[in-house]
């Protein structure tokens, strides 16, 4: 991490958290007490690497304009997809943003004159869960982001786990079925090819190609949330997809629990907004495992599993918390 910066001497200041995605840039404006003064979401400009950076600059400026209190900008935190060199402030690889060895921190510091820190977007969201969506105050938790792919962030003893090469938590690329679908990483049968939102859509297309009808056949556009809605409405093919995905995910979550011995497993991403319908097949598989395994009865407790707060952009909030850490707060 970049060297610790001294917090401004003024009693009040701003922190800006930025969640950068391939489609949107989301921000939040927090004060020194980590209270929100506004949030913003704008489209990501992908016309060029520099245009993307300038779009982020514009989003931050718009965010600062959400409140006219005479506070100074103290720090900026950003969650970026891909791999970052946090110490150097360089985005090494962010494929969807077309950034390769991009000196993002230097550009932002030059523009705003305030310290800036970057981190992988899923780990930033994990920090957001830990700081702002953690009613029991758990010191050990795992956050699983399920969207186009799947990635995991882990907090152990209150510390964000990064790994030697910044790859800690890449559970989405654990090979579950060597004969499974081809993953973007080049391997076959990675977990994310079986349980991500993209995988749900692929399974639905396969079911339709085999003659499935009912609610599943009426979905337009065909998306993962729609498949879960169809399952809730009683569509047999959709129910089978939801159950198969939940069972596979439950088995992999067992590995997360055993690998890290966490007190809380938090699931996030658009598809998890299906709520109980999303959790039911996962819990059902855990209960099946409990029937024959004392170990499963000890560690796979349904009460440790929950869905992240869908009303808050935990990526942007976590990025603001990352900015606070930069100040030693």
Interval 184-218: pLDDT, tens: 888 999 999 999 999 999 999 999 999 998 899 99
DSSP single-letter state for residue 188? B
**Radius of gyration, alpha carbons of the chain:** 21
Which pLDDT score is estimated for 55? 97
Residues paired with 270 in a beta bridge:
none
Sheet holding 116-120, edge to edge: 36-43, 24-31, 13-20, 72-80, 116-120
Residue among 264, 268, 322, 325 at smallest CA distance from 80? 322
| Phi, then psi, of 44 in degrees rounded to 5 | -80, 130
Which parts of the chain register pLDDT below 70? 1-10
Interval 232-285: pLDDT, tens: 999 999 999 999 999 999 999 999 999 999 989 999 998 999 999 999 999 999
DSSP letters of 121-181?
HHHHHHHHHHHHS-TT--SSEEEEEESSSEEEEEEETTEE---TTS-TT-GGGSBS-TTSP
Other Cβ atoms within 10 Å of 229 Cβ, number: 17
Phi-psi region of 115 (alpha: psi -120 to 50; beta: other; left: phi over 0): beta
Please state, in angstroms and rounded to a whole number, the distance separating the CA atoms of residues 195 and 146: 8
Which pLDDT score is estimated for 1? 40
Which pLDDT score is estimated for 185? 85
Q: What is the model's pTM?
A: 0.90
DSSP single-letter state for residue 270? G
Residues with Cβ < 8 Å from 81, sequence gap 6 or more? 20, 21, 22, 94, 95, 96, 97, 120, 121
Give the tokens for residue 82.
């891909």
Please state, in angstroms and rounded to a whole number, the distance separating the CA atoms of residues 289 and 20: 39
């Amino acid at each position: 991490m970049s060297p610790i910066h001294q917090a401004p001497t003024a009693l009040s200041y701003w922190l800006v958290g930025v969640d950068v995605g391939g489609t949107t840039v989301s921000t939040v404006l927090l004060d020194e007490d980590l209270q929100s003064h506004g949030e913003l979401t704008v489209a990501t400009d992908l016309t060029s690497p520099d245009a993307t950076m300038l779009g982020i600059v514009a989003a931050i400026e718009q965010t600062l304009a959400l409140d006219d209190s005479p506070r100074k900008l103290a720090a900026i935190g950003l969650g970026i997809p891909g791999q970052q060199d946090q110490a150097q402030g360089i985005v090494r690889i962010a494929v969807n943003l077309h950034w390769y060895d991009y000196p993002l921190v230097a550009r932002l510091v030059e523009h705003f004159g305030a310290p800036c820190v970057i981190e992988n977007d899923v780990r930033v969201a994990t920090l957001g869960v830990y700081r702002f969506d953690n009613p029991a105050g758990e010191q050990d938790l795992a956050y699983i982001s399920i969207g186009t792919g799947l990635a995991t962030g882990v907090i152990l003893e209150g510390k964000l786990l990064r790994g030697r090469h910044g790859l800690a938590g890449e559970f989405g690329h654990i090979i579950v079925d060597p004969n499974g679908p081809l993953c973007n990483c080049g391997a076959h049968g990675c977990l994310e090819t079986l349980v991500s939102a993209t995988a749900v859509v692929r399974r639905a297309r396969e079911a339709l190609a085999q003659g499935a009808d009912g609610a599943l056949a009426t979905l337009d556009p065909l998306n993962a949330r729609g498949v879960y809605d169809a399952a809730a409405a009683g569509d047999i093919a959709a129910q089978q997809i939801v159950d198969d995905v939940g069972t596979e995910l439950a088995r992999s979550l067992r590995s997360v629990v055993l690998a890290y011995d966490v007190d809380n497993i938090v699931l996030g991403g658009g598809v998890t907004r299906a709520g109980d319908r999303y959790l039911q097949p996962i819990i059902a598989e855990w209960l099946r495992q409990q029937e024959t395994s004392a170990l499963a009865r000890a560690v796979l407790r349904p009460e440790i599993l929950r869905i992240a707060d869908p009303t808050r952009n935990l990526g942007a909030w976590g990025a603001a918390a990352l900015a606070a850490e930069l100040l030693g707060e």
